[in-house]
Amino acid sequence: MGLIWRIFLVLLLASPTYGQQRFITVASTTSTEQSGLFKHLLPAFEKKTGIQVRVVALGTGQAIDLGKRGDADVAFVHDKEAEEKAVAEGAFVERREVMYNDFVVVGPKSDPAKAKGHDVVAGVRKIAHAKAPFASRGDKSGTHSAELRLWKEAGIDPQQGKGSWYRETGSGMGPTLNTASGMNAYALTDRGTWLSFKNRGDLVILVEGDKRLFNQYGVMLVNPKKHPNVKIAEGLTFINWLTSAEGQKAIADYKISGEQLFFPSSNK
C-alpha cells in the first residue's frame, strides 16, 4: 500500500464518525454469489472487521461498469483482460489476484456433437458444425467473454446460429444452466457454479482440462480520485483480507461434497 493510502487511513480511523455503521458495496460476478462462496466468506469477514458487505451480483462486464460509474466501492470479477484495461484507464486501483478455478463445457450425456475431450476449441467447433443446441449467457460477463474468445479461436461466428442452435439467455450462470438443462443443450460454465448447481437434468461435464479454460478472479478498488464517495478504508480492508493468509484459507476451505470450488492465488 502506498504512503498516500497509509496517511488517509490514519486520518480516517481517527475520525469521530468512523464508529458509525460501516459497509461497502461490492460489484461481483454472479459465480461468486451463485456458487455459495460469499455465504461462506462474508460472515467471517464481517465478524472480524465489523464491515458489512453488500453484494451486487452481475456479469463481470456489468460489475466493472457499475464501478466505473462510482456505484460500488470494490469490484470482484473474473476477466483479467477487462480488469487490467479498466485499471489502465484509471477507473480502478489496487487490483490484486485472489483465486482461480476453471471453466468446463457441459452438455447432454449422449453428447450428440461428439464434443467430449480435453481440447475445448475442437469441442466448440464440433458443437457448431453439428448445430447442437448451445446456451450462452450473452451478457458480457467474464464467462461470456471467455466463450467468445473460444468461438473466435475455433473460427466460428456463433451469431450466424442465433435463434436456431445458438441461444443467448442474457442472464447469469445459474439461469443459463437451467436453460441448458431444459433444452438438453451445451454450455460453458465456471466449475464453481456447476458444482453448486442442482438442476442438472441429463447434463454432464464433457470438456475440461484445457489450459484455455483457466479462470482467474481479481479484486480492485474503485478509484477514489474519480469518485470521492468511495469508502477507501473499508474497501482496502476487504481487499487486504481476501488476499491475506486468513482470507486465502477461507477460500480454500469452501467445498461442496468434498470438492474444492476455488483455489487461492493471491499475488500480494
The predicted pLDDT at position 3 comes to 47
Mean pLDDT across the chain: 92
Question: Is residue 166 a contact partner of residue 134, using CB atoms and an 8 Å limit?
Answer: yes
Give me the pLDDT at residue 21, please: 74
State pLDDT tens for residues 185-199.
999 999 999 999 999
Count of structural domains within the chain: 2
pLDDT in tens, 152-163: 999 999 999 998
- So what's the pLDDT on residue 244? 96
Shared-domain flag, residues 179 and 113: yes
Give the residue from 182, 197, 213 where a domain finishes: 213
Range 87-106 burial, b when 16+ CB lie within 10 A, else e: beeebbbbbbbbbebbbbbb
Please tell me the distance from the alpha carbon of residue 76 to that of residue 65, in angstroms, as a whole number. 12
Residue 266 has a pLDDT of: 78
Domain boundary residue, one of 213, 228, 252: 213
Q: Which domain holds residue 254?
A: 3-100+216-264
User: Same structural domain for residues 108 and 204?
Assistant: yes
The cell numbers describing 111, all together, are 453428447
Q: Tell the burial category of 127 from Cβ atoms under 10 Å away from its Cβ (0-12, 13-18, 19+).
A: buried
Of the pLDDT bands very low, low, confident and very high (cuts 50, 70, 90), residue 20 is: low
pLDDT at 12 over 90: no
**pLDDT of 16 higher than 60:** no
At 17, is the pLDDT very low, low, confident or very high (cuts 50, 70, 90)? very low
